[in-house]
Structure 1
Amino acid sequence: MTEVVDRPGASRMARLRARLGLEGRRGVLTGLLAVILGAWAVAVVASVLASGAQGRAVAALWALGGHGHAVAVDVAAGTLGLAAALALVALAWIVMTAAMMLPSSVPMITLFVATAQKVPGWRLSFCYFLLGYFTVWVGFGMLAFGVDLGVNALAQAWPWLADNWQVVVATALAMGAIWQLTPLKDACLKECRHPVSFLLRYYRRGGSAGWQLGIRHGVFCVGCCWALMLVMVVSGAAQLALMGILALIMFVEKAMPWGEKVVRPVGIAFAVAAVTVLFLGSGAHTHLG
């Protein structure tokens, strides 16, 4: 019989590696928390400053404060160029993704780090993962901005719609309500709620694989939340409150053990809100700046 001898040096090295891995994840969590809080600070400060700002700074501050709809209004009115507007919208969606989406993706990100850090060069793969994730959300933001521009152009050509903007908001709420109850929503939510099975299926080593994984996770995340975010895009008012409410909904749905149970109630709440806004809203289309 071969006697197994425990080598103290090997045990110490194993404990050291485990400790470094735990500290690495703690470092990532600390960094994520700093980014999330920083993004919220930018949104709050920008919203406060925008109300008293003048000139070209107004559009930038409204955008960073989550009021991307105000940028679409400026473009439709001819007071802001399209290239500048697109740059502002991209920057605004980076801030909104950090503030609203990262909290619900923390379980996926930390598990990715725990898996990837076993391989040399994992930090590069992690950066590519985040880059892919943010790219998807910024791309969605650009598409949503295009929709907002189109609706604003329609409102300029059709004064009735400009005077009854609550119809647009109610339509977005109704779309959110319907999407909450679809099998596609459930399928996307399942991928976001189960990071272990997601990584077992799709994780590969390397920087390009990290990019592809971030893209894939971002696509499922957009699939969960696009209809909710569309409400914020077209609302044009109370953006900080909406950002907080929607971020909380997305966090609960994707990160809490009982999150699946709130999907249908949220859909029903959005349906009630759509009817309420449609019949009781006074949604005149006004410029926030």
Structure 2
Amino acid sequence: MRPGRVLRSFTYAPWPVLLATAGLGLALSLYHGASSDGPAFCVAVNGISVVGSWPAVLQAELAVNPLQRILAAWFLMLLAMMPPLLAMPLMHVWRSSLPARQVRAAAAFVLGYTAAWMLAGPVLWAISVLLQVTVGDAALPLTLLFALLWSASPWHRAALNRSHRARRIGLFGWAADRDCLGFGLSHGGWCIASCWAWMSVPLVSGAWHLPMMLMAGLIMLVERLAPMAPPRWLWQTAVSSALLHTFFNQRDTERPHG
């Protein structure tokens, strides 16, 4: 597919709404960070020995960043990064529902998807805190390296493949609502399985939180748009494969002939 055609595809529904929602989430994340004492994901624990003291580390961090502030920052982070990843499943839910139920079906799907990620947030936050306290400034490069390795792994590819699978959506009553909610939960679960490493990168980035959010969100979107492939180690990861395919696959047809 040519670059111009790829870019034009983002002007079709539901892309404009999803991209605008992500932009709103990014603006709210910026405002939330600027209006508070510091990033909700920063580590403010000093003088605590990590060995045998992980509960004390987390308790001290929660004293500085209360759980409600962390969950609010996590929700805004999801709002900024995840909407573009939902284009395909949302279109499936929309097209599988009766016209009178389409908005309700989409809302149920988003509710299930968001619930799955909100449950994963505190776990990823705790891991990021312990990692930063353990390795200090090396947390960001180590997390980046691990995310790249995860993107190249067969487990990541298997989770991505599962996230491409659609699910039957009922037409009427509670059965339709249950199907949409369940699809959101299951899709969110496989999205967590494939994206958790890249979602961890902004959590350990400190002052680079917002730039890392943008970078990780773009990488996850490119990975999600890449075609399905067999689960295997792929050192040319989905990120580079999709970019090369998009921008260079038809270079011969674009060259002038004669």
CA distance in structure 2 between the aligned counterparts of 1:35 and 1:268, rounded to whole angstroms: 23
1:121 aligned to 2:91? no
CA distance in structure 2 between the aligned counterparts of 1:108 and 1:248, rounded to whole angstroms: 18
Of the three residues 15, 28, 33, the one matched with 1:42 is 28
Determine which structure has the larger helix proportion and give its number.
1
1:94 aligned to 2:75? yes
Verify the 8 A CA contact 2:201 2:216 in the aligned structure 1: no
Deviation of 1:225 (Å): 1.0
**Cα 1:171–1:29 shift into 2, 3 Å:** closer
Deviation of 1:174 (Å): 3.2
**Cα 1:146–1:102 shift into 2, 3 Å:** same
Deviation of 1:221 (Å): 1.0
CA distance in structure 2 between the aligned counterparts of 1:131 and 1:268, rounded to whole angstroms: 28
1:138-287 residue pairs with structure 2 within 5 A?
Answer: 138-151=118-131, 154-155=133-134, 161-162=135-136, 165-166=137-138, 168-192=139-163, 194=164, 198-199=165-166, 201-204=167-170, 205-256=175-226, 264-266=235-237
CA distance in structure 2 between the aligned counterparts of 1:142 and 1:38, rounded to whole angstroms: 23
Verify the 8 A CA contact 1:148 1:234 in the aligned structure 2: yes
Q: Which residue of 2 aligns with 1:11?
A: none
1:104 aligned to 2:81? no
**Cα 1:232–1:264 shift into 2, 3 Å:** farther
Verify the 8 A CA contact 2:82 2:217 in the aligned structure 1: yes
Deviation of 1:213 (Å): 0.6
CA distance in structure 2 between the aligned counterparts of 1:81 and 1:239, rounded to whole angstroms: 21
Deviation of 1:131 (Å): 0.8
Counterpart of 2:124, as a letter, is: A
Deviation of 1:80 (Å): 5.5
Counterpart of 2:68, as a letter, is: A
CA distance in structure 1 between the aligned counterparts of 2:152 and 2:128, rounded to whole angstroms: 24
CA distance in structure 2 between the aligned counterparts of 1:259 and 1:241, rounded to whole angstroms: 29
| Structure 1 unaligned blocks of 5 or more | 1-24, 51-56, 156-160, 270-289
User: Among the aligned pairs, what percent are the same residue?
Assistant: 23
Counterpart of 1:44, as a letter, is: L
SS in 1 for 2:207: coil
Larger Rg, first or second structure (1 or 2): 1
Counterpart of 1:136, as a letter, is: A
User: How many residue pairs align between the two structures?
Assistant: 211
Counterpart of 1:203, as a letter, is: I
TM-score by length of 2: 0.68
SS in 2 for 1:58: coil
1:161-201 CA-to-partner distances (Å, cap 9, x unmatched) read 44xx21x3333233223322222211111133x3xxx22x4
The CA RMSD over aligned residues, in Å, is 3.2
CA distance in structure 2 between the aligned counterparts of 1:129 and 1:220, rounded to whole angstroms: 14
Verify the 8 A CA contact 1:181 1:267 in the aligned structure 2: yes
CA distance in structure 2 between the aligned counterparts of 1:46 and 1:259, rounded to whole angstroms: 39
**Cα 1:140–1:213 shift into 2, 3 Å:** same
CA distance in structure 1 between the aligned counterparts of 2:59 and 2:159, rounded to whole angstroms: 37
**Cα 1:249–1:151 shift into 2, 3 Å:** closer
| Structure 2 unaligned blocks of 5 or more | 1-11, 46-56, 241-258
1:32 aligned to 2:18? yes
Deviation of 1:144 (Å): 1.0
